[in-house]
C-alpha cells in the first residue's frame, strides 16, 4: 500500500511538472526540457553503471554520467543554439574514443577488467542518453510542445493503463513473460489500448500538426496514422520496460536505484520513454508532415 501511495504521489506531482516544463517553458526550443533530459540521462547512466558493476564491468559514476549526457547535450546545443549537427558526431566520437582508450591507463598488469570497462562505457554512452536525445530533437518541429506532450502521454498512458488493467483484471493471466512475471496480459492490452487512444485523439484534435504524409505512405486518414503512431510507440514503450527488467534480473538488481519513491530509480521511470523516443520520432517523420 505504501508503494502504491508513493507511486500515485509521484504521478500527481510529476505530471503537472512535465506539463509545466513542456508547455509553459518553450524558450530556446524547450531548453528547460532539454536540461531535464540531460540530467535524467546522466543519472540513468550512473544507475546502469552501478548495475553493470555487479557483473565486473566497471566505470566510475562520474564517467558514466558524462558519457550518458554527451548525446543529449549535443542535441540540446544543436536544437536550442543552432550548433552544427556535426557536433553530435564529434560528441559521439569523443565518447567512443574514451570508452576505447581509457582502459590503457588501468593499473592492473593483466588488464583483466579492460573489456568489461569498455562494455560499460559503451553502454553508458548509448543507454539511455543516445535514445533520449530524440525527445530533444522533437523541439525543432512546428507545434513541438503538442507533439512532445502527445509522445509522453502515449508512454505514460500506456504505463498507467497497464498498471490499472493489471490490478483489475490481471490476477489470472500473469507470468506469461518470464522476465517480468508480475505483468499480466490484461495489463499489456490495457496499456496498448491507451497508447492507441492517445495517438488517435491527438490526430483528431490537432489536424494542423498531425498532417498525414499521403505521398509517401498509404494511410487513408489522420486517424489511421495516429492509431499506428500510438500502437508502435506504445509497443516500444513496453519493450523498453521489459528490456530494463532483463538487465535488472541479469545483474541481480531489484530496482535501478532509489531516487524515485514508489518506482525505484531514475532508469525505472524512463526505461519506456528511452526506447519509445526514437521509435516515435521515426514513425512521426514517416507518417506526418513536419
135-176 confidence digits (pLDDT tens):
999 999 999 999 999 999 999 999 989 888 888 887 878 877
Nearest one of 6, 36, 5, 8 to 20, comparing CA atoms: 36
**pLDDT tens by residue, 81-102:** 888 878 888 999 999 999 998 8
Which strand (E) or helix (H) includes residue 117? helix 114-125
Question: What is the per-residue pLDDT for 218?
Answer: 54
CA atoms of 150 and 289, how far apart (whole Å) = 16
Cell of 246: 532483463
Q: At what angle do helices 27-53 and 2-24 cross, to 10 degrees?
A: 150
Say if CB 176 and CB 50 are below 8 A apart. no
CA atoms of 259 and 148, how far apart (whole Å) = 24
Question: What is the per-residue pLDDT for 258?
Answer: 78
Q: With 90 as the cut, is the pLDDT of residue 28 above it?
A: no
Q: What is the mean pLDDT of the chain?
A: 87
Distances (CA, A) of 83 to 28, 76, 129, 167: 12, 9, 19, 47
The tally of domains found in the chain comes to 1
CA of residue 266 relative to chain centroid, distance: 11
Residues ≥6 apart with Cβ < 8 Å to 271? 128, 240, 241, 243, 244
Question: What is the per-residue pLDDT for 62?
Answer: 95
Task: Write out the residue range of the structural domain in which residue 124 sits.
Answer: 2-287
Cell of 261: 519513491
CA atoms of 92 and 126, how far apart (whole Å) = 9
Amino acid at each position: 500500500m505504501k508503494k502504491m501511495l508513493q507511486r500515485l504521489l509521484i504521478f500527481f506531482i510529476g505530471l503537472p511538472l512535465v506539463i509545466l516544463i513542456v508547455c509553459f517553458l518553450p524558450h530556446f526550443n524547450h531548453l528547460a526540457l532539454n536540461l531535464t533530459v540531460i540530467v535524467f540521462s546522466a543519472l540513468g547512466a550512473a544507475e546502469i553503471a552501478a548495475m553493470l558493476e555487479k557483473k565486473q564491468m566497471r566505470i566510475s559514476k562520474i564517467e558514466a554520467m558524462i558519457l550518458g549526457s554527451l548525446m543529449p547535450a549535443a542535441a540540446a546545443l544543436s536544437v536550442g543554439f543552432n550548433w552544427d549537427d556535426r557536433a553530435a558526431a564529434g560528441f559521439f566520437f569523443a565518447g567512443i574514443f574514451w570508452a576505447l582508450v581509457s582502459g590503457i591507463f588501468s593499473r592492473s598488469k593483466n588488464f583483466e577488467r579492460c573489456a568489461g570497462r569498455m562494455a560499460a562505457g559503451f553502454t553508458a554512452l548509448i543507454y539511455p542518453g543516445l535514445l533520449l536525445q530524440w525527445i530533444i530533437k522533437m523541439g525543432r518541429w512546428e507545434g513541438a510542445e503538442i507533439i512532445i506532450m502527445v509522445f509522453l502521454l502515449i508512454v505514460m498512458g500506456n504505463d498507467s493503463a497497464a498498471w490499472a488493467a493489471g490490478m483489475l483484471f490481471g490476477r489470472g493471466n500473469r507470468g506469461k513473460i518470464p522476465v517480468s512475471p508480475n505483468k499480466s496480459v490484461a495489463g499489456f492490452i490495457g496499456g496498448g489500448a491507451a497508447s492507441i487512444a492517445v495517438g488517435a485523439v491527438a490526430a483528431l484534435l490537432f489536424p494542423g500538426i498531425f498532417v498525414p504524409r499521403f505521398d509517401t505512405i498509404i494511410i487513408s486518414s489522420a486517424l489511421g496514422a495516429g492509431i499506428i503512431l500510438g500502437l508502435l510507440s506504445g509497443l516500444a514503450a513496453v519493450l523498453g520496460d521489459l528490456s530494463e527488467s532483463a538487465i535488472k534480473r541479469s545483474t541481480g538488481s531489484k530496482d535501478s536505484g532509489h531516487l524515485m519513491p514508489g518506482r525505484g530509480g531514475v532508469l525505472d521511470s524512463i526505461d519506456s520513454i528511452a526506447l519509445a523516443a526514437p521509435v516515435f520520432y521515426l514513425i512521426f517523420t514517416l507518417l506526418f508532415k513536419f
